[in-house]
């Protein structure tokens, strides 16, 4: 059960939209298939690293059949820097075999079909369906979405599937993809794991976990550190710091002009 009401969350959402008007998927791709491959490579890896890796990869392998015919060792060496390269190469080739054999080389466009591909779970399927086809069947729940959802009081769960269900009840369907992009941008710029910059956050007047002074910031950081960033419950009102009377309620959208 979310602690934050829907009207309150909709205000947060609108603030995030104002703070990050250009939020979008940060992976580079030129086709639905290449987006799938990029998302598979991004597991346990940064999008920036994936974007450094994919130009050479995509120049060599353009279609599902190209990946099926790939020499596994050669493919592994091209994606080595993304980590877990043996498993990722195996899953990419396995997924492309299905796409080439069952779907004539075209990436399928339903959740069930996507989930049947090796190495594809709901987060990957939601990102690919939303960005490649504009199909919104759910909300991508990555590490930023997990952390932000808990800190903002949108869920009390840790399991991504349960978090996605709570979010789907709160977020208007048209925003299911964008809310995930906004969480990524906010999680990278302000609500950083283990060191949230609450004093700079446009949500600090609404967020149940907002910390206003140094001591409270340390409290949030300690709670996040102890839970590995996963099990932090919002601070109780009594443990929250007071907002200094002269502190700005938020720096406003102008403070975010230089953010990604
Ligand atoms: S107020 Fe602090 S804890 Fe809440 S979303 Fe902003 S940075 Fe994160």
Distance CA(2)–CA(170), nearest Å, equals 9
Q: Is ligand 1 within 6 A of the CB of residue 198? A: yes
Q: Is ligand 1 within 6 A of the CB of residue 15? A: no
Residue 178 zone, left/alpha/beta (φ > 0; ψ -120 to 50; rest): alpha
Q: Is ligand 1 within 6 A of the CB of residue 204? A: yes
Q: Is ligand 1 within 6 A of the CB of residue 201? A: yes
Q: Is ligand 1 within 6 A of the CB of residue 210? A: yes
Structure tokens at 28: 């580079």
- Which fold does the domain 6-21+142-238 belong to in CATH? Endonuclease Iii, domain 2 (1.10.1670)
Task: Enumerate the CATH 1.10.1670.10 domain ranges in the chain, comma separated.
Answer: 6-21+142-238
Q: Is ligand 1 within 6 A of the CB of residue 12? A: no
Q: What is the pLDDT of residue 226?
A: 63
pLDDT block averages, 10 residues each, the chain of length 260: 92 98 97 98 97 98 98 98 98 98 97 98 98 98 98 97 98 98 98 94 96 60 58 40 37 39
Q: What is the pLDDT of residue 257?
A: 38
- Mutational test site, ligand 1, from 185, 198, 232, 239, max ligand atoms within 8 Å of CB: 198
Ligand 1 atom closest to the Cα of residue 220 is: 3
- Torsion, CA 90, CA 94, CA 100, CA 102, rounded to 10: -170
Kindly give the distance from the C-alpha atom of residue 125 to the centroid of ligand 1, in angstroms, as a whole number: 28
Task: Enumerate the CATH 1.10.340.30 domain ranges in the chain, comma separated.
Answer: 32-133
21-26 long-range contacts, CB within 8 A, separation 24+:
23/178, 23/181, 23/182, 23/184, 23/185, 24/181, 25/127, 25/131, 25/181, 26/51, 26/184, 26/260
- Which fold does the domain 32-133 belong to in CATH? Endonuclease III; domain 1 (1.10.340)
Burial (CB count within 10 angstroms: exposed 0-12, middle 13-18, buried 19+), residue 228:
exposed
Kindly give the distance from the C-alpha atom of residue 17 to the centroid of ligand 1, in angstroms, as a whole number: 15
Q: What is the pLDDT of residue 217?
A: 56
């Amino acid at each position: 059960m979310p602690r934050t009401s829907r009207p309150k969350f909709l205000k947060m959402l609108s603030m995030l939209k104002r703070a990050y008007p250009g939020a979008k998927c940060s992976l580079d791709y030129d086709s639905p298939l290449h987006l799938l491959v990029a998302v598979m490579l991004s597991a346990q890896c940064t999008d920036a690293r994936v974007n450094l890796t994919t130009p050479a990869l995509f120049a060599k392998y353009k279609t599902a059949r190209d990946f099926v015919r790939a020499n596994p060792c050669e493919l592994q060496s091209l994606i080595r820097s993304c980590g877990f390269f043996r498993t990722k190469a195996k899953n990419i080739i396995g997924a492309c075999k299905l796409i080439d054999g069952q779907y004539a080389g075209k990436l399928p466009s339903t959740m069930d079909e996507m989930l049947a591909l090796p190495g594809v779970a709901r987060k990957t399927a939601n990102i690919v369906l939303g960005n490649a086809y504009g199909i919104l069947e759910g909300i991508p729940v990555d590490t930023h979405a997990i952390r932000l959802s808990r800190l903002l009081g949108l869920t009390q769960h840790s399991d991504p599937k349960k978090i996605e269900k709570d979010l789907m009840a709160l977020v208007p369907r048209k925003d299911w993809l964008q809310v995930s992009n906004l969480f990524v941008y906010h999680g990278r710029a302000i609500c950083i794991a283990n060191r949230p910059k609450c004093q700079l956050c446009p949500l600090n007047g609404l967020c149940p976990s907002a910390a206003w002074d140094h001591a409270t910031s340390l409290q949030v950081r300690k709670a996040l550190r102890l839970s590995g960033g996963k099990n932090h419950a919002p601070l109780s009102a009594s443990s929250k710091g007071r907002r200094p009377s002269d502190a700005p309620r938020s720096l406003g959208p102008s403070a975010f002009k230089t953010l990604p």
